Structure 1
Amino acid sequence: MPMIRALFNWRTLLSVIAIGIVTGSIIYSDYLSRKLAEAEKQKVEQWVEANRVLAATNEREALNLASSISSHNIDIPLIATDEQDSIVDWRNLDSTRVLQDKGFLKKELKLFKTQHDPIIWEQSKKPYIYNKVYYGESLLQKEIRYYPIVQLTIIALFLIVIITAMNTRYKSTQNQVWAGMAKETAHQLGTPVSSLEAWVELLKEGHDNASILPDLERDVARLRLVSDRFSKIGSAPKLEQRDLLAQVQQMIEYMRKRASGKVQFHLNVHGAQPVLIDLSGPLFDWVMENLMKNALDAMEGKGLIVIDVHNHPTYVTVDVTDSGKGIQGKNLQKVFKPGFTTKKRGWGLGLSLSRRIIEQYHHGTLNVKWSEPGKGTAFRIVLKR
């Protein structure tokens, strides 16, 4: 039942209704087009008969009726030819184009032949001479024929606008939830961190606590940093010009202390140094930490993490490459979606937050550069100067 409900949501219902409307319109328009084509064929036949009567009779009433029928056909384009399809007359075509383009009548005649069979216009019985009248579609018939396409285009645009608006609203709501959750987390962390900082100051007064104070201070500083990171989500952070290499090197040293001795870290720099770029230090460190944590998890305690920094005149790239298990092809488009994770533990928020930090706050990009199962993965950060 949940799967059925998921399939038949409001979007599906809206699409079904739209398809039903368009299908009904196409069927009805085709019906009207066929009825109109029959009526137009009768009008052309009447026009041919009227002109035949005009040529063959002298009776006033018949002449008046034939003349009236002949003059009332002002919407159906006609081309009359002799037995060898040489054009002898035409009606209801663009006279300007006929005069300017010598091949216009031949093109129209070729088109009319594909649309309808000609109507025979008998000129004389002995000897038997006849003309052929080819006719095309009136403006009204063309409008009826193309009406479903126009309607389909309008409905498609309408659906695109609705879906885009709904997606924008959903993302906006999602962003507000993310920001609210992050700020609430920072708020909740703030009180105990402040308390811990006060306790550290008290412990400094005791001589027997010297051995534990450095580690305690580092952990408290770490909690303060985490709180500061969360507090910056949802508001525009202040970007300052920093040395990107120093930021990266600092995070490498931080992660090296928390990795096993079987994991090697290499930093390669390509281009001029220092690499100065506008950054939010705490948030960029968070991104690098997330990428290297994912690399460590993928390698399961042993392997190689290589960070390549390429310094270009207008932008900088940072590639984080690991020798881990890689990402399956079917998951490459999902890794940045909130909640997606292949780990037994975790909420699948790290890469989603990392992309948000790079794209929204640093106006750069974060993508999977390449990944191959069994060989590893490389993420690329691109930052514009």
Structure 2
Amino acid sequence: MNFTTNTFFFKRVAVLTSLVIVSLVLWNTFIFFQKFKKEERIKIEILAAAQKELATNSDLNASVDLPLKVIESSNNIPMILVNAKGEILEIQNLDPVKSLDKNYVAKQLQIMKSQNKPIEVSYKGKNKQFVYYKDSELLDKLTYYPIALILILILFLSVIYLFYNSNKIAETNKLWTGMAKETAHQIGTPLSSLLGWIAILKMEKVDNKYVEEIEKDVSRLNTIANRFSKIGSTPELKKENIITITKTAFDYLASRSSKQISSTFWASEDVIYTNLNTELFGWVIENLLKNAIDAMSGKGSLQVKVENTQKKVKITVSDTGKGMPKKMYKQIFKPGFTTKKRGWGLGLSLSKRIVEDYHKGKIFVLKSEVGKGTTFEILLEKF
């Protein structure tokens, strides 16, 4: 059995065990509740017998201590005594002030009728009276016990799930961090070699146009290596002009995209300062631009805007691609979620982490319509 199989088996066993425990506790609670309810009825029957004994005892010398003691001890069960016509004769163990209100008494009588069958009190079949009673306060509390138990069990299982899930996320993050740093390390070796080859090409007096393009791509690889090396550690933020950083990322991808894509960059000002990590924020813009270009399948309109608002710096990336339904607005930022045939679904997840965790900003889908396009928005604090 591998780790995944063990985890799945553990989950099934935990859920099954929990269901069995809850079922047993609920069943035992039900049995106890019924037993307690039966004992309360027996108690009321004894009380009714004691009242009958007092009412029918004509011997003045006979002892009535036992019936009186039974009546006095029954002080925790609310009851109402009515005659055959339904007239109320006696009220016991109800609020004495509220009992002055006929509506209150009538309502309590209806509750008693719904909870328990009345106990008949008569003498030789005549002068029939009926004792109605409510469940005691203790019995009422017992009805909520199973609910409280289930809630506690749900809370307990939720804590276990959150603990397991957080451990899994931490383990996954650790794995991705290790892979990113290893990738950065592996890229470093061919980069050093490429720099050497560029020096040789210059010595051989190769056309500078070709050498400059190679240098751009080598610089690009170096930037990628630096980005991967920063994953898992807190990046250093500096006061930077966000216009320059966004425009650089835009120009790099716009020049390498299809000629049938119309690319436009617009900024409200020439300089807008904010605290940024240049390499990581450039990565975010590139991820958004790549997604936009892929969504348009090589033909459409791409627009990037940087605007200085009263409180924030606002960056929007809009395309005329395939768009998405509203239910996917939040899903696309989850690790592993992708609509492409190829890809790991990490670009937008990393972008969200860079913007929100590292730069304390916000990134979200501003609007999208299937078949018409999507607009992403980034909000950052101004310097």
TM-score, length of structure 1 as denominator length: 0.85
Q: CA 1:311–1:99 in structure 2 vs 1: closer, same or farther (change >3 Å)?
A: farther
1:24 counterpart residue number: 24
Name the stretch that deviates more: 33-42 or 218-227.
33-42
For residues 81 and 277 of structure 1, the distance between their equivalents in structure 2, rounded to whole angstroms, comes to: 82
**Is 1:250 the counterpart of 2:248 in the alignment?**
yes
Give CA-to-partner distance per residue, 1:148-171, whole Å, 9 cap, x none: 101001001111111111111111
CA RMSD of aligned residues (A): 3.2
Query: What are the ranges of 5 or more consecutive residues in structure 2 without an aligned counterpart?
Result: none
Supply the AA of the counterpart residue of 1:39: E
1:64: which partner in 2? 65
Q: Residue in 2 aligned with 1:91?
A: 92
Who is 2:376 aligned against? 379
2:90, 2:312 → 1: CA distance?
70
CA contact (8 A) 2:307 2:314 kept: yes
Match of 2:75 in 1: 74
Q: How many residues align?
A: 380
CA distance in 1, matches of 2:310, 2:109: 63
2:360 to 352, 363, 366: 363
Residue in 1 that maps onto 2:335 = 338
Which residue of the other structure, out of 197, 210, 224, is the alignment partner of 1:212? Answer: 210
Once the two structures are superposed, what CA deviation does each residue of 1:232-290 show, in whole Å capped at 9, x if it has no partner? 111111122323222222222111110121111123446x7643322211111101111
Task: Compute the displacement of 1:106 (Å).
Answer: 4.7
| 1:188 Cα offset (Å) | 1.8
Q: Which moves more between the two structures, 294-303 or 111-120?
A: 111-120
Instruction: Please list, as runs of the form range in 1=range in 2, the aligned pairs for 1:215-226 lying within 5 A after superposition.
Output: 215-226=213-224
Measure the CA separation in 2 of the matches of 1:32 and 1:223. 73
Whether the aligned pair in 1 keeps the contact of 2:329 and 2:364 (CA below 8 Å) is no
Distance 1:140 1:80 in 2: 22
Q: Look up the match of 2:290.
A: 293
Task: Provide the residue aligned with 1:327 in structure 2.
Answer: 324
Match of 1:44 in 2: 44
Q: Note the C-alpha offset of 1:101.
A: 8.1
For the residue of structure 2 that corresponds to 1:301, the secondary structure is coil
Change over 3 Å in CA distance of 1:16–1:380 after alignment to 2: farther
Report the CA distance between 1:308 and its aligned residue: 3.5
Please give the secondary structure, in 1, of the residue aligned with 2:255. Answer: helix
Structure 1, 8-17 or 202-211: larger mean CA deviation: 202-211
Aligned to 1:308: 305
Alignment partner, residue 148 of structure 1: 146
Deviation digits for residues 355-385 of structure 1 (CA, Å, limit 9, x no counterpart): 2212221222333333333222222323344
Q: Which amino acid aligns with 1:13?
A: V
Partner residue, 1:54: 54
Letter in 2 for 1:142: D
Distance 1:274 1:110 in 2: 78
Q: Percent identity?
A: 37
Q: 2:178 maps to what in 1?
A: 180
2:158 equivalent among 153, 157, 160 = 160
Cα distance in 2 for partners of 1:364, 1:100 equals 65
Deviation at 1:31, TM superposition (A): 2.9
Letter in 2 for 1:265: S
CA contact (8 A) 1:241 1:279 kept: yes
Which stretch of the first structure deviates more once superposed, 59-68 or 348-357?
A: 59-68
Larger deviation, residues 333-342 vs 358-367: 333-342
Structure 2 counterpart SS, 1:212: helix
Tell me the equivalent position of 1:236.
234
Distance 1:166 1:344, change over 3 A: same
**2:99–2:105 Cα contact (<8 Å) kept:** no
Flag the 1:194–1:8 CA change in 2: closer, same or farther, 3 A. Answer: closer
**Aligned residue identity for 1:69:** V
Match of 1:190 among 188, 191, 212: 188
Q: 1:185 to 1:370 in 2, by over 3 A?
A: same
**Unaligned runs of at least 5 residues, structure 1:** none
- The TM-score normalised by the length of structure 2 is 0.86
> Which residue of structure 1 lines up, in the alignment, with residue 11 of structure 2?
11
Q: 2:215 is matched by which residue type in structure 1?
A: E
Q: Deviations over 1:326-362 (max 9, x none)?
A: 2367755543333333334333221222122122212
